[in-house]
Amino acid sequence: MTHPTFFVVRLAIDSSRSPSDDTPPEPNFRFVLDPEVTARASDFFINNANTFFPAALEQLNALPGLLPETVVITYRDCGIANAFYDSSDRTITICSELDNAQYNLLLELGLDSDDAFVLSDFSTAFVIDHEIGHALVDILDIPIAGNNESTADAIATVLSVERSLGGTTRPYSLFGGLSLADQPTSYGDEHGNGQDRAGDIICWTVGGRTELLFDSGVQSLVQPFVEAGRDCTAEYQDHCPPCVAGCRVLRHAWQWLRRHSTRHRVGFLI
């Protein structure tokens, strides 16, 4: 299994705004549908995308001034099933082909169209969290040593798990991890092995939400990924062994963000 490597988080909240300034802060992340997609898509798809994905961003947008500028996340046609963060203009692209591929895979696994639509949204939300991980590393100048993709997976998992606390929806990372389990055994690049990535993401997700081990709806899917003698709770929480110190720092980073949200009297929508 691959593990995220140790890094130090340096974050700053912009305190330049005076208490009397009523101007709403710019969001840290903004989701937009490309006009070519809206031109052909159904009203149902457009309304769902413009509701579901922005809601998933509320967690980080509740921290005013986290980023110096808004990162735009565009859902568009790419000609290939992919998603990526572009550091040259600090934008994120989610390709419609990737979303469609995840939907079709779920249909092939026997889900009906309604369930496949919902779960493909969950998987795509995790992909967005993964690309947000890349954006945070780049814009906040988070130094890492090793695999950028594993680090982005870890950040995405923490965002997903923390977002789900106190709610009834299972973490999006659970579905993102399971979708990776069906990916090719080797990407031939830094993304690594699909099964290994799935194992890490699902283990960390269960570490943050241990009740999933007893959730009859997903127990049989989760169990194979946590039977390798790994202490998933320790990996997610602050007593990680040295080999997965990145998880510990991620956990502390999220606690830091929560403390800042309290000082700024901004509540988390999770």
* Sequential DSSP letters for the chain: ---PPPB---------S-TT--PPPPPSEEEEE-HHHHHHS-HHHHHHHHHHHHHHHHHHHTSTTSSSSPEEEEEE--SSS-EEEETTTTEEEEEHHHHHHHHHHHHHTT--HHHHHHHHHHHHHHHHHHHHHHHHHHHTT--B-S-HHHHHHHHHHHHHHHHHTTSSSPPHHHHHHHHHTTS-S--SSTT--HHHHHHHHHHHHHHH-GGGGG-TTTHHHHGGGS-SS--HHHHHSTT--GGGHHHHHHHHHHHHHHHHHHHTT-----
User: How far lies 86's CA from each of 72, 92, 94, 249, in Å?
Assistant: 11, 6, 11, 25
Per-residue pLDDT, 251: 54
Q: Give 98-128 pLDDT, tens digit per residue.
A: 999 989 988 988 889 999 999 999 999 999 9
What are residue 7's DSSP bridge partners? Answer: 144
pTM of the model: 0.79
pLDDT tier for residue 254 given thresholds of 50, 70 and 90: low
Structure tokens at 77: 């046609």
Q: Give 150-204 pLDDT, tens digit per residue.
A: 888 888 888 898 888 877 888 998 888 877 766 554 444 455 556 778 888 888 8
